[in-house]
Amino acid sequence: MPTSADYIRLSWSDIVPDRPFTDPDHNVEDMAHLQYMVGQLRHVLSQMKIIPAQPRPYILFLEESGGRRHRIALARPEELLTLTELAVVGFCGAKWPEANRAPLNAVDAELLDEFMQHPHLLSYSSLEVEGGNWRNLVLFSHPQGIGHWAISMKHAYAAQELSPTYYRHIRLHNGLLPGGLLSGSEITLTRTKYYDYQNQSLWWAVRELQA
């Protein structure tokens, strides 16, 4: 993995000319997808009269327009309904045209099996969008959960070994959901990381959105 010394720090308005995916205007579309997933998760939980105690994670599949796929994995739904602030990770990737998703799907299944080993992980939503790309929304009860999730060997393998072969570039957002899931509030972004796999060496950058 790249170290903190390897990245480029971007100001709130910087655009890297040869890397247009870093344009902060992309945050508008990214946030629309992530906020939509928050809304769908809120709707699902508010409509469920009884949340089964097992299995965990509890997996739901939603119908989306055009046959697009939307999966919600609930690890700790009771906390989602009661906590008044959630930590957010939003993943927005653009795949290579001929990329094979099978290896990522295999690791994804293994990651589901270890969900309950991550104490702050509450839910994981995956939404298929235009072009066969995916948006992922992960909610945590505490920001410390993000670090715990990142050091998972399976997660690290997916990020370090599989991502460069599947994705051209990635925007990885961090944020908060003030008031909690049921408050109806919107995600507040705090940081975006950019990863470009289009050359032999990884290029990455960080944009801090809040002090």
What distance in Å separates the CA atoms of residue 149 and residue 68, rounded to the nearest whole number? Answer: 27
**Would you say residue 113 lies in a domain?**
yes
**Would you say residue 31 lies in a domain?**
yes
What distance in Å separates the CA atoms of residue 44 and residue 31, rounded to the nearest whole number? Answer: 20
DSSP 56: S
Specify the pLDDT at position 211.
54
3-state secondary structure of 47: helix
pLDDT tens, residue by residue, 10-25: 998 999 999 999 999 9
Please say whether the beta carbons of 160 and 1 come within 8 A: yes
**Would you say residue 174 lies in a domain?**
yes
**Could you tell me the CATH number of the domain that includes residue 150?**
3.30.70.100
What distance in Å separates the CA atoms of residue 138 and residue 148, rounded to the nearest whole number? Answer: 13
**Would you say residue 203 lies in a domain?**
yes
Amino acid identity at 155: H
| Number of domains the chain is built from | 1
**Would you say residue 153 lies in a domain?**
yes
Global pTM reads 0.93
**Would you say residue 8 lies in a domain?**
no
Q: Is the pLDDT of residue 2 over 60?
A: no
**Would you say residue 5 lies in a domain?**
no
Specify the pLDDT at position 4.
44
Tokens of 64: 């989306």
**Would you say residue 1 lies in a domain?**
no
What distance in Å separates the CA atoms of residue 66 and residue 47, rounded to the nearest whole number? Answer: 24
- Over residues 185-196, mean pLDDT: 97
- Over residues 80-99, mean pLDDT: 96
Question: What is the extent of the structural domain holding 183?
Answer: 27-43+56-208
Specify the pLDDT at position 48.
83
pLDDT tens, residue by residue, 90-107: 999 999 999 999 999 999
